[in-house]
Amino acid sequence: MLDIQKIRADFPILTQKVNGKPLVYFDNGATSQKPQIVIDAEVRYYQEINANIHRGVHTLSQLATDAYEASRGKVKEHINAKFAHEVLFTSGTTHGINLVTNGFASILKPGDEIIVSSLEHHSNIVPWQMLCEKTGATLKVIPMNEDGELILEAFDALLSENTKVVTVNHISNALGIINPIKYIIEKAHAVGAAVLIDGAQAVPHLKPNVQDLDCDFYAFSGHKMCGPTGTGILYGKEAWLNKLPPYQGGGEMIKEVTFEKTTYADLPHKFEAGTPNIAGGIVLGTAIDYLNNIGFENIQQYENELLEYATKQLLEIEGLKIYGTGKNKASVVSFNIDGIHPYDVGSIIDKLGIAVRTGHHCAQPIMNFFCIPGTIRASFSFYNTKEEIDSMVEAVKKAKTMLS
Ligand code: 7TS
């Protein structure tokens, strides 16, 4: 059992008032809040060891380098990667995906096929479309059903020897559906395709085990898991990272530079050109420790309770429809009220201190599928409470009355 009040005390922002009302923060899918320990670690880095990494013999540079590499090691353990050099620091999921699509530009050719799912965030659609434009490869889409679940028979039918890459999110940001990625990875590998999993929405809720999943790439953002913005990780299997060309050229990613020829550094540095977000990378490790101390099993169990409670309370509102009714879900509720624009509900409940996201959630194809302009999305974290859900439900009822 989690002591939620004790956990909430770790998050200074949660005591804020917004528009004169206690903040109810249900926009965790967009970014999570940060515990004091993470904020302190960021300050401490600049107060005590700020220096550039991997380049100085001086003590501070060594301390900063050690802390940065220790954090890489922590991430390696956390996701159960085989080697620390399979863990690349990025600025976030978007960066990680673009690093991979850029690499595949030199591998794919016309006639090759890339399979994405209909549940993707734009950042796992657009880079693949750009890659298709560059290479002449074709994009195929796994369809979904009315519950927001991927249709696996249709996925099976899309697979062929032309399939070179399959990419899906672990958890859908717009609907909260947890995808059967193990099945997808196995099937994709059977035709020799590489698999990238977009784990942006998964890592706040669960601990991915990349070796057990056997995915080729797993991308996520630090800011959605209590870490700083501008941090992220791309896990890639060693063989793939060796095969892909570098993403950006610059300092730190080279072995030797002459005007005739440059040779590239070994992993992971080959993909880490320039001065990275050093503080962020270090503090991401602090955030991971924080979450592991709470325990992902505890987090999941509690968030499931919140999900069930919110779903039940919201469905008591007449005319309210939830999108993403599949069985396997994370703590996200996406909904609309009959005849009312989601933006109007979002604006009114914001005045009551309640932060939800409204709109297409960077997943326009999902909205097109349901023929809606967007949804109201409440995404819960382990620091949220049932009382906060009650406040949201009351606020939504008020908004409904005002707008009907
Ligand atoms: N993939 C998924 C599944 C996401 O939910 C997001 C961000 C991204 C990729 C991109 O992550 P970034 O850190 O590189 O921006 N999702 C959301 C969201 O649902 N609301 O705001 C951002």
Look at ligand 1, atom 6, and give the residue with the nearest C-alpha: 200
CATH number of domain containing 325: 3.90.1150.10
Domain hosting residue 301, numbered range: 4-30+295-403
215: annotated active-site residue: no
Grade residue 104 by pLDDT with cuts at 50, 70 and 90.
very high
Q: Are 120 and 126 in contact (CB under 8 A)?
A: no
CA 368 / ligand 1 centre spacing (Å) = 19
Q: Are residues 270 and 128 in the same domain?
A: yes
Percent residues over pLDDT 70 in the chain: 100
9 & 125 share domain = no
What is the tens place of the pLDDT at every residue in 346-361?
A: 999 999 999 999 999 9
Question: Same structural domain for residues 216 and 189?
Answer: yes
Candidate from 168, 221, 377 with most ligand 1 atoms within 8 A of CB, to mutate: 221
Indicate whether 315 pLDDT > 90: yes
For 47: left if phi > 0, alpha if psi spans -120 to 50, otherwise beta; the answer is alpha
User: What is the mean pLDDT of the segment spanning 85-101?
Assistant: 98
* From 132, 215, 362, 371, active-site residue: 362
Q: Which of 292, 322, 340 is the last residue of a domain?
A: 292
pLDDT 10s digits, 180-206: 999 999 999 999 999 999 999 999 999
Cα 35–chain centre separation: 19
Q: Do 233 and 284 share a domain, yes or no? A: yes
Statement to judge: residues 14 and 96 lie in one domain: no
- Please give the share of the chain, as a percent, with pLDDT higher than 90: 99
For position 179, which CATH number holds?
A: 3.40.640.10
User: Are 397 and 336 in the same domain?
Assistant: yes
Same domain? For 300 and 287 the reply is no
**pLDDT class for 225, splitting at 50, 70, 90?**
very high
Q: By the 8 A CB rule, do 168 and 139 touch?
A: no
**pLDDT-based confidence at residue 56 (cuts at 50, 70, 90):** confident
162 and 199 both lie in a single domain: yes
Ligand 1 neighbours by CB, cut-off 6 Å: 29-30, 92-94, 121, 123-124, 169, 173, 198, 200-201, 221, 357, 361-362
Inform me whether the pLDDT recorded for 132 exceeds 90.
Answer: yes
Kindly tell me if the per-residue pLDDT of 218 is higher than 90.
yes
Closest listed residue to residue 215, CA positions, set 95, 100, 74: 100
| Residue that finishes a domain, picked among 292, 314, 333 | 292
Say yes or no: 179 and 301 in one domain.
no
* Confidence label for 112 from pLDDT (cuts 50, 70 and 90): very high
Same domain for 47 and 8?
A: no
Residues 138 and 173 in one domain: yes
What confidence category does residue 55 fall into, taking pLDDT thresholds of 50, 70 and 90?
A: confident
d(CA 261, ligand 1 centre) in Å: 38
Average pLDDT score, the chain: 98
Q: Which two tokens stand for residue 349?
A: 């409940």
The answer on 312 and 190 residing in a single domain is no
- Total structural domains within the chain: 2
Nearest CA to ligand 1 atom 21: 30
Residue 24 in contact with residue 33, Cβ under 8 Å?
Answer: no
Residue 175, classed as helix, strand or coil, is coil
Full-model pTM: 0.98
CA of 109 relative to ligand 1 center, distance in Å: 29
User: 130 C-alpha vs ligand 1 centroid, how far in Å?
Assistant: 18
Report the pLDDT value the prediction gives residue 1, as an integer from 0 to 100. Answer: 84
Cβ-contact 128, 320 below 8 angstroms: no
Q: Tens digit of pLDDT for each residue in 226-265?
A: 999 999 999 999 999 999 999 999 999 999 999 999 999 9
Best residue for ligand 1 mutational test, from 32, 93, 119, 364 (most atoms within 8 Å of Cβ): 93
Q: Which of residues 292, 321, 345 is at a domain's end?
A: 292
Residue 329 φ then ψ, to 5°:
-135, 150
